[in-house]
Amino acid sequence: MSKTPETPRSAVPGRRPDDPAGTSPRHDPRDLLPARQVLLDAEIQDADVVDGDAVDVTDGEPAALDEHDGDLLPERVAPAGAPALASDAPPPHAPRFHFLAGALIAIGVGALLVAVGFAIGGTGSGDSSGPAWSAWHPSGSQAAQQIATHVGEQYHLGDGKQLVLAQGGAMSIAGLPLTVALRQTADQGGDIKLYDDKGVLYRLCGLGTNCAIASGKPSIQRHLLLRREALELALYSFRYLDGVKQVAVLMPPAPGKKPSQALFFRKGELSPELKKPLDATLTSDVPSVSTMTRSPDALLVDQLTLPTLFTFSLTQANQDNRAFLVLDPFTANSSGASSGSTTAPAGSSGTTTSSG
């Protein structure tokens, strides 16, 4: 009986050729794969790819490729613990942040403009913030004379005529610049103090002889009203005239006398009044001669002007280009050269004054 020839091992499917040394596997590894396999691109072998949807392959062809538009890769996700990548979409609070940033920039620009305005736009000691210091203010050139005209027109005698003519300008007389020389009493030390700051000189003239008031009679009330006018001239000057530190006001004399009284104001002495509106110091309605002592501001006017009241004289310095306005403290003995009553004005401490 003949034997059926033995089929060589190498001819059996899935069998490897004889390998006496035993170094090769008995089966081809490809034969061990299942009939359905996953089609993977080489790119999915990257370390940051995780499990995703797979695409079935049947008989060596990928199924439903059109459904995936050719993209067979699983979605990439960030590795665990890594921060998420920034999105192109703006954060939900971005509009609010932009609005606040714009508002802060606008506020900063506004503050800068205000600071620049204060630096280049102010005049005198005026402050543009808050209510206006006064309803009227000078403008342009000749500001001192504008103040003199404006204030002078507010003061009248009992017959309705203007009290005095007020003239204002630089601290000079007959073209010579004036230096104020204030002589103290012996009780004050007896020293002579010189004041050469930028100032304004006002002269009140009643249009009578030697500038005396041509009508009416000298009285306490009229003298107090004249001092009120002098105070108002000084307040306007310190408030609106750049660099002015002192104001001198020459008063009208008594009939038949020569001018001898002056009020001398220093800016620092009126600092509290310059920080508040004018009508908080002086009533907006200017009193008349007959109502002056009953005016609500009569006591304050008396307190602010009596310490500034002096007798004056003019003398030329040794140098031809300068003169002195010499001021001596006002006393009862000096009233004979002044302009009126020897009765103490209302609100004063008993000092004898003269009235214009």
Is there a single domain that holds both residue 66 and residue 155? no
Report the number of distinct structural domains present in the chain: 2
Same domain, 206 and 296: yes
345 is a domain residue: no
Please indicate, yes or no, if residue 183 is contained in any of the structural domains: yes
254 and 332 in a common domain: yes
**21 and 169 together in one domain:** no
Are 59 and 162 found together in one domain?
no
Let me know if residue 128 belongs to a domain. no
Other CB atoms closer than 10 Å to residue 16's CB: what's the count? Answer: 13
Q: Quick one: 171 and 277 in the same domain? A: yes
Are 295 and 167 within one domain? yes
Examine the domain organization and report whether 63 and 153 are in the same domain.
no
Measured distance CA(272)–CA(268) in Å, rounded: 9
- 160 and 286 within one domain: yes
In a domain, 47, yes or no: yes
Tokens for 348, please give them: 């004063």
Asked if 151 and 27 sit in the same domain, the reply is no
218-243 burial code (b ≥16 CB/10 A, e <16): bbbbbbbbbbbbbbbbbbbbbbbbee
Name the domain boundary from 54, 75, 96.
75
DSSP 304: H
pLDDT, averaged per 10 consecutive residues of the chain (356 residues), comes to 52 56 58 51 46 45 47 52 51 58 62 44 49 92 96 95 97 93 91 96 97 94 98 98 98 95 98 97 96 97 98 88 94 54 41 53
Which residues 6+ apart lie within 8 Å of 264 measured at CB?
180, 182, 246, 247, 248, 249, 308, 310, 327
Measured CA to CA in angstroms, residue 33 lies from 14, 23, 42, 341 at distances of 12, 21, 19, 135
Looking at residue 6, its pLDDT comes to 55
Any domain includes 163? yes
Coil, strand or helix at 323: strand
Last residue of a domain, one of 27, 59, 75: 75
Q: 321: domain range?
A: 143-337
Choose one of 26, 50, 75: the last residue of a domain: 75
Is 212 in the same domain as 326? yes
Asked if residue 207 is part of any domain, the answer here is yes
Does some domain include residue 118? no
CA–CA separation, 131 vs 152, rounded Å? 25
Determine the pLDDT at residue 131.
77
Same domain, 317 and 207: yes
Is residue 133 assigned to a domain?
no
